[in-house]
Structure 1
Amino acid sequence: MHIERLDKASLRGRGRLTLLMGCTALVALQPLAAVSQDGQAAEETTVLERITVEGAGGADDDARSIVATTSTGASKIPTALLDTPASVSVITAREMQERNVSTVEEALRYTAGVSTDFYGSDDRYDYFKIRGFDAYVYRDGLMIGDPFGGIREEAYAYERVEVLKGASSTTFGVSDPGGSVNFVTKTPKSERFGEAYISGGSYSRAEMGFDFGDNLTEDDTLSYRLTGKVRKADAEYDYSRDDEKFFMGGLTWRPSDVTTLSIVYDHLNKDGVPGSGGHPLGTDFDRSRFFGEPDYNYRGTNRNSVSVMLDHDFGSGLTLGANARYSRTDSDFGYAYISSTPTNGSTTASRAFFGNDQSVDDVVLDTHLQYDTSFDGIDSRSLVGVTYQRTSTDNKNYWGAAPGIDWLNPVYTGRPASVPIYQSLKTDQDTKALYVQQNLTFADRLTVSMGLRNDWLDTDQTDRLTGVRTKGDVSELTSRFGLSYRWTEELATYASYSESAVPSSLTVEPERGKQYEVGVKYQPLEFPALFSAAVYDLTKSNITRTDPVTNLQSAIGEVRVRGLDLEAKAEISDRWSLTAAYSYLSSEIVENGADGNEGNELAFVPHHIASLWATYKLPGDGRRGDMSFSLGGRYSSSYYFDDANTVSTDGHVVFDAAATYKLAENTAVEFNVANLFDEKHVDYGGFGANFYNPGRSFSLTLRQTW
């Protein structure tokens, strides 16, 4: 990654100098005189010398700090968060370790505008929404897809998680208007480092992991990194398991000061279960009670990926960046769930079997050229790029009635001989995209950011049950425009407009989104921190709904969300650090076809979301080692389970806690508790069964670093 900034103002004060050098990615650059054919052009144009910094976060140290200052989440041009005309939150590796994050949902729990866990003990996918909408996920700027229907990502593979709020199709491509999540892969460093840990905890959990690397050559031209974890565990309900094997290995080659090539291979294998199957309506059983079918209860994942990342500096402000990834994923699940609870006094609930088999081959690559220059007091950063993705998916779904179960005297009936298949689709999709981005900074204060992108999606789908073949092609142009103004070195305000597009089916127009946003950001120079506030108005239109006139699927739906996001990440002193967030959301179904839901609120969108995680560090005094204590709280107001607004959950608060004790300089014991007071509420329900939120869990970890 390359970060640059033209330094024209001197810094005053020790605090400012320390923060600038140690915590920000705005590296001071010395201008070089541009080579020109005439002297006048040489005086008017300055080409910025580029400094190459390793690590996805630039000068950010994601392994040691919860505060990030740069990101590529809002555009493919690395930009200081203070100068980015959008709301971007970054969860660093340090924050994930501090909170003992093991899933994407856990990583996002303390982020403004993000709601998680709204499907309770349904453990098939990563469930989260940003500003009221499902969010697409990306890895190193390359599409992964919609988490609903995908696999649960391994958070330990990533150096950071970047959350962009609002429409973002001009940056990454297909996405919903609420936002996007970009995972940044751990890659080798040009230094020796490492950690290893062993952990145990609730639900018979036993886990070990490692993440280390070093140089293979004395001149730092070749480095490696190995990351992995193995877990043997159960879930919180009977007849469950939560086993995992993960390994990732990477090599980075630096043949010169201007070229970096990284190759990363990772393998993810999970052997778990899809969920508890739900609890009958009107009951209050312990979370451990299981009303599914033990012999038909599986969730498997096997994925192998190879990623290639290339950066090259041609000099004179011109650089090349290219990322590519191939992945093969095989996944399946099968389970029995409660489909309805009787209302006639019977204690026998109806059940159904549901299963899925899926295989996905995916090739995706992105290449872009960036040119940076300066003229007449204007810093210019221009980028043009192309993206290509080829995805081949084989998906089969099975469903059928299952024997009922008496919840007062459950008797399991065993694995079914077969479950009827109701859908079998073979889908091939080619995606091509061309995009341009332009940042102009005037007098080191006003930054104008613009972007255009056109995506072409060609889809060929075959229904293997009927033999029917359907083709579709989509061409979507999206744009983004933003202004950011630095009032001081610490304070900036911004305004932006952005668009999104996502196909809904082969025969209906794509769903489109647009967002207007204004905000303010404050980054004090005296200590590492970033405070932000934003208000927004976003609309998603062309939503596929049943047309009341033709009774056919048509792009006639429209929904709207308006809101406020407040967020703070700060290392206030050597002892205190905190992450705080609050969001207000007001959602409305503007048009919804013939179902009569106009004027209602969107399902799973609470009016209020708030969270606070605070850490206090107590230095050792010689007789004992360093200690730290953390306490967190997460609040969500009530939300509806359906767009008809007939059933809802209650508001709730969940507390988390953590403590660390250093046994030696590089050895520590960590204790984490999620849902400290075992708060119990219904995350999802009202339709045959209820699904509770995750219960209390704990872990004790011994970690060695070097």
Structure 2
Amino acid sequence: MSKHIRFSFLIIFCISSWSVFGQSGKIKGLVTNQDGNPIEFANISVKGTSKGAVSTASGSFEILGLSDGQFTVTASSIGFEAVSQTVTINSGGTVEISFSLQEVLQGLQTVEITGRREIGYDNKETFSGTKTASMVKDVPASINFVTKELMLDQVAFTVNDVVKNVAGVNQFSFYNDITIRGFRVQGQRNFGTLLNGMRTFTSFWKPQLIPHIERVEVIKGPVSALFGNASPGGSINRVTKKPLAESRKSISASVGSFNTLRTLADFTGAMTEDKKLLYRLNLGFENSDGFRDLQFSRNLVIAPSFAFLPSENTSLNFDIVYQDSKGRLDRGQAAFGNRDLFTTPITTSLSAVNDFLDETTINTTVSLRHNFSDKISFNSTYQLSSYTEDLLEHRTSNRFASLADGSFDETKVAMRVFIRKRSWNNNAINNYINADYQIGSIKNTALIGYDYFRQEQLPGGSQLEARSYLLKNGTATNGFNPANIDNYALDANGNPATNVAHFDLTSPTANGMRDMSNYIYNTVTFNQFLQQSHGIYLQNQSEIGPLKVLLGLRQEYFTDYLNYNSPAEEKVDQQALLPRVGLVYTLNPTINFYGTWVQGYQPQGAAGIINPEAGGPFDPLTSEMFEVGAKSEWFNKRVSATLSLYQIVERGGLYNANDPNNPERLVQLGEEESQGVELNVTGNILPNWSIVAGYAFNDAKITQADDESVIGRQKPNAPRNTANFWSKYIFENGSLNGLGIGLGYNYVSDRFGSIVSSERPDVFPSYGIIDAALYYKIDKVQFQVNVNNLTDKTHWVGGYDVIRAFPGAPRNIMTTVSYTF
């Protein structure tokens, strides 16, 4: 260890020691509910200081290092009214107090203005499931969470890193591209990806960053009755960290494999003594080369958030997320044409060293809540998001090198070049009113709302494309047709001459600098387009004894303006009426049964397809889901579990058309069906023993199609079986006090790649990955070592075919030092 490192640790140790031993007063006590039962994870704070604690499973807590004087101590917990007491510490003594908190569901926020106080892997409340403050167990839907605590324990940095903790969810590719119950959720589209419950625009090429995220929510099934345009499998909602009234500060630094460096910072607290103005600032930086040739990530996140609480009835939140991402676009590993993925190293990428991908995303959210009375509240949210893409890439033409006789040289990959710039602006508005009322003995909560979403591609969007093969007329094309060989320029061997040289999979220098000066380019202009939707929705939740009934209805109006602001402007209108019915029956205080029926809707005009050569416009996707299940709480409500059985039918999905003249063209298939069973378990068996586990069986297949050969096939990148497990245990006594261990396992069964682009789909094999971690905490400093893919298992997280396969990372190690103050 160098002198500088030893000196740094000495300084940290001295600061930590001074902060703990320089003051010796102590407050200890107990937190219970009105029945005398202990409340775990209650937050206890000391006004005017940064001191605080969280109650254990027995409801006990201790706050150390207080000076002499008088203090106001407050105990609070989600679903309970906060209680404060005044205590006096003399001569460094110990004061014992107890709190009895009254349960009050109305105490939940109707909009998430301030931060989540729960600490741990479990999450008891939801806002997105019904757009009302609800306990998760009372919502007739499967909603799974990955909290920031689990993200930190697994040193996760992107959404792709955390979806492995949710049954029925897996990666489709390297990108912002996820499969939920066999259905795809992608970036650069206005469905399936939510930020703070609002439809937003994201990158497709890079996974979404999470240093500023409080939790990732996966809402299973088509949630169109609330959000309109939605994927049949489900939606992923990222909830940003919001301000807290108590002071919390943390910083961490991680270094590890693939030249990875990460730093995180999270600061929150009150800006005024009356705690009516709160702040939070999250910072994240990553610099990593990754395990793939020429690939790298340079990511910066700056995310300030402010909450203004002028009165008990009114609150306002202002939230900004700035993300800057630099790297190269990784189109995946290409193997030789014998379909054996092991024939080339998983590090093989097709990029050239002069490629780049620069992306900038800015999201701004303003949320207002106002209570007109204790029964009527108004909520309004506005979100503005912008995204800019600047790209240069050498990429495959999705086929091997063509030879004159129509065969292929399967050691070389046909290539092309894209140089592209595009920008989007997106506006979303959501306004709704909640009203509690009672008819006889039946309690009701009504919701009426209106939302608007507008997505616009800005002027100037354009692309230069250098295609694969030269034609005699001085242009270029991506495909070679031997029947028209006279139209092609030929090389000395009589094979089609290349405009962009093939990528030689056997060459150790294939990733070198490419001379682009002689390429023949075609210019593609992305005409402005505008998509906008209006939705009016109604919902009523009734409580009839142990039975809760949810009825919802949404009228959606969608308009797609193609060639916007030009003489060729074309307007495409669609609309849909979207119902939702849900039932929850409380068998006893720890078990609820539920059932739900919903219909989904997803417009897919040509402007909304990522690739302009895909074709269209296409008919909208429609979907329908039936689901039944049970939700339970164990170990004094510390552990939550959801068991669900479902059937989803979708009509109108898009797949590759296998068109030799346009390899990007898509076709609509008739019908797809997904049915299965899922089990998710999350929480704390003991206060020092956390667990997340799940299993999913998913039978997702094509049931109707023009091409009868694909009927009955499993959908692309939709594994029939997935399983996940992660557990963390912290020793609290004896010589091992402060030491913790973590162990995880993830299994994904084999999957098909693209099912239409070839008669025999490529298969990506099953895999099981073991992860492990070691933790050691000394006061406010924690040392953490994570080993991912402990057995160095070669595996693929997804892919299209052997030319575009997406391998998972080999064994890697991350070492993290965190400090809280």
Does 2:609 match 1:609? no
Does 2:409 match 1:353? no
Instruction: Give the letter for the 1:686 counterpart.
Output: D
Question: 432, 441, 448: which is aligned to 2:543?
Answer: 441
Q: State the match for 1:137 in structure 2.
A: 193
Change in 2 beyond 3 A, CA 1:537/1:290:
closer
- In terms of mean alpha carbon deviation, does 687-696 or 581-590 score higher? 687-696
Query: How far off its partner does 1:197 sit?
Result: 1.1
Query: How far off its partner does 1:604 sit?
Result: 1.1
TM-score, length of structure 2 as denominator length = 0.76
Question: 538, 563, 566: which is aligned to 1:462?
Answer: 563
Q: State the match for 1:588 in structure 2.
A: 701
- In terms of mean alpha carbon deviation, does 88-97 or 273-282 score higher? 273-282
- Separation in structure 1 between the aligned mates of residue 505 and residue 724 of structure 2, nearest angstrom: 36
Matching of residues 48-197 of structure 1 within 5 Å: 50-51=106-107, 53=109, 56=112, 61-62=117-118, 64-116=119-171, 118-119=172-173, 122=174, 125-135=175-185, 136-145=192-201, 149=204, 152-197=207-252
- Separation in structure 2 between the aligned mates of residue 320 and residue 74 of structure 1, nearest angstrom: 18
Question: 587, 591, 597: which is aligned to 1:491?
Answer: 591
- Given that 1:60 and 1:70 are in contact with CA atoms closer than 8 Å, whether structure 2 keeps it comes out as no
Q: State the match for 2:630 in structure 1.
A: 520
Change in 2 beyond 3 A, CA 1:223/1:54:
farther
- In terms of mean alpha carbon deviation, does 525-534 or 634-643 score higher? 525-534
Question: 643, 647, 650: which is aligned to 1:533?
Answer: 643
Change in 2 beyond 3 A, CA 1:236/1:500:
same
- Separation in structure 1 between the aligned mates of residue 791 and residue 76 of structure 2, nearest angstrom: 36
- Separation in structure 1 between the aligned mates of residue 167 and residue 785 of structure 2, nearest angstrom: 26
Query: How far off its partner does 1:231 sit?
Result: 2.0
Q: State the match for 2:440 in structure 1.
A: 376
1:415-447 per-residue CA deviation (whole Å, 9 max, x = no partner) reads 52465334523111222111111111112x210
Change in 2 beyond 3 A, CA 1:585/1:72:
same
Q: State the match for 2:532 in structure 1.
A: 430
Query: How far off its partner does 1:679 sit?
Result: 1.1
**Counterpart secondary structure, 1:523:** strand
Does 2:254 match 1:199? yes
Q: State the match for 2:502 in structure 1.
A: 404
- Separation in structure 2 between the aligned mates of residue 375 and residue 665 of structure 1, nearest angstrom: 55
- Separation in structure 2 between the aligned mates of residue 289 and residue 200 of structure 1, nearest angstrom: 24
Structure 2: runs of 5 or more not aligned: 1-32, 43-55, 60-74, 83-103, 186-191, 402-406, 469-499, 607-616, 658-664
- Separation in structure 2 between the aligned mates of residue 68 and residue 589 of structure 1, nearest angstrom: 35
Structure 1: runs of 5 or more not aligned: 1-8, 30-47
Change in 2 beyond 3 A, CA 1:396/1:104:
farther
Percent identity of equivalent pairs: 20
Alignment size in residue pairs: 664
Matching of residues 558-597 of structure 1 within 5 Å: 558-594=671-707, 596-597=709-710
- Separation in structure 1 between the aligned mates of residue 526 and residue 184 of structure 2, nearest angstrom: 25
**Counterpart secondary structure, 1:603:** coil
Q: Please identify the structure whose Cα radius of gyration is greater.
A: 2
Q: State the match for 1:35 in structure 2.
A: none
- Separation in structure 2 between the aligned mates of residue 137 and residue 653 of structure 1, nearest angstrom: 28
- Separation in structure 2 between the aligned mates of residue 692 and residue 310 of structure 1, nearest angstrom: 44
1:443-483 per-residue CA deviation (whole Å, 9 max, x = no partner) reads 2x21001111112112211189x974321111111111000
- Separation in structure 1 between the aligned mates of residue 142 and residue 730 of structure 2, nearest angstrom: 29
- Given that 2:539 and 2:551 are in contact with CA atoms closer than 8 Å, whether structure 1 keeps it comes out as yes
Change in 2 beyond 3 A, CA 1:566/1:95:
same
**Counterpart secondary structure, 2:727:** strand
1:94-121 per-residue CA deviation (whole Å, 9 max, x = no partner) reads 11111111111112111011112x32xx
Instruction: Give the letter for the 1:530 counterpart.
Output: S
Change in 2 beyond 3 A, CA 1:391/1:546:
closer
- Given that 1:277 and 1:335 are in contact with CA atoms closer than 8 Å, whether structure 2 keeps it comes out as no
- Given that 2:332 and 2:803 are in contact with CA atoms closer than 8 Å, whether structure 1 keeps it comes out as no
Q: State the match for 2:553 in structure 1.
A: 452
Change in 2 beyond 3 A, CA 1:304/1:691:
closer
Change in 2 beyond 3 A, CA 1:526/1:15:
farther
Query: How far off its partner does 1:220 sit?
Result: 0.5
Matching of residues 649-660 of structure 1 within 5 Å: 649-660=764-775
Change in 2 beyond 3 A, CA 1:658/1:276:
farther
- In terms of mean alpha carbon deviation, does 574-583 or 371-380 score higher? 371-380
Q: State the match for 2:70 in structure 1.
A: none
RMSD: 3.0
- Separation in structure 2 between the aligned mates of residue 646 and residue 240 of structure 1, nearest angstrom: 28
1:674-701 per-residue CA deviation (whole Å, 9 max, x = no partner) reads 2222211343253435432222222111
Query: How far off its partner does 1:642 sit?
Result: 2.2
**Counterpart secondary structure, 1:96:** helix
Query: How far off its partner does 1:496 sit?
Result: 0.7
TM-score, length of structure 1 as denominator length = 0.87
- Given that 1:527 and 1:572 are in contact with CA atoms closer than 8 Å, whether structure 2 keeps it comes out as no
Change in 2 beyond 3 A, CA 1:533/1:397:
farther
- Given that 2:115 and 2:241 are in contact with CA atoms closer than 8 Å, whether structure 1 keeps it comes out as no
Instruction: Give the letter for the 1:460 counterpart.
Output: Y
- In terms of mean alpha carbon deviation, does 215-224 or 520-529 score higher? 520-529
Q: State the match for 1:292 in structure 2.
A: 351
**Counterpart secondary structure, 1:571:** strand
Change in 2 beyond 3 A, CA 1:545/1:625:
closer
